[in-house]
Structure 1
Amino acid sequence: MPFPVLRALATATFFLLQTQTATSFPLMPRDIQWSFDLYPTQACNGTADPHAGHGSTGCRADLNSVASAYTLNTVADGCRIEFYDNTMCDGNELSDIAGPMTSPGTCRVPNLHRRYASYQVTCEKVEV
């Protein structure tokens, strides 16, 4: 087959797969406002426990295990993630806060040899 035909087939396949992905999984959020990965070690290695969502969450203690570190993937403007050393999001045991200005991809560990046992995301509502 000549190169233009192969290129046209590859392009058509790509668009077909994109359309199928968008329609086959309608419940998957396409507008993630925040995401991060928790790790069992302070070196951010081992199996990651990914968390992602849209909007505020309330207290979440549904972690696969108590984490020693995290890497931030994204935080939208108007959102912040609070990490806690307990499973009740008790402000007296706040370990870290991540927001839009936090460097993505950097391995972050809690202060004072704490761990992350729960988190809470707060996002401002934007009026349209």
Structure 2
Amino acid sequence: MSSFVRFLVATTLLVNASAFPLHVRDAMEWNFDLFPTARCNGTGNAHTGSGSTGCRANLPTEAAAYRLNSIADGCRIQLFDNTMCDESEMSIVPGPLTTADTCRFPGSGHRYGSYQVTCDA
């Protein structure tokens, strides 16, 4: 094989390798639903992602309850009783997931207006 052909083959492999990198599944994934009622009935709003989020205050409606579907070890979900992720009123859901499909609510008439997810690096 000529040097030029080897060069073309090597270049093609490098271009394809950088255009289609191997993807490793992110181990810091999480998924939960927020519900407008304390019984988790009706239509919930799904929240899914991986890694840390920062404050998420753009919720469609305030939620009275949540159902945790999955949370990776090393992550925690903070649900706030306000729309600014103010830590004066919050619930913390640490990972890993121990019980799924359980409706959980803050009680005392509190409602969730924002959340953030924090995962270890």
1:122 aligned counterpart, secondary structure: strand
- 1:106 maps onto 2:102 in alignment: yes
Superposed displacement of residue 101, structure 1: 4.5
Q: CA-atom RMSD, angstroms?
A: 1.4
Which of 51, 56, 64 is residue 55 of structure 1 equivalent to?
51
**TM-score, with structure 2 as normaliser:** 0.73
Runs (5+) with no aligned partner, structure 1:
1-29
Cα deviation for residue 98 of structure 1 reads 1.1
The secondary structure found in structure 1 opposite 2:108 is helix
Which ranges of structure 2 fall in alignment gaps of 5 or more residues?
Answer: 1-24
Bigger radius of gyration, 1 or 2? 2
Structure number having the greater helix percentage: 1
Provide the C-alpha distance between the structure 2 equivalents of 1:40 and 1:77, rounded to a whole number of angstroms.
Answer: 27
Identity %: 58
Alpha-carbon distance between aligned partners in 2 of 1:57 and 1:109, rounded to the nearest angstrom = 22
Residue 38 of structure 1, aligned match among 17, 24, 34 = 34
CA contact (8 A) 2:72 2:97 kept: no
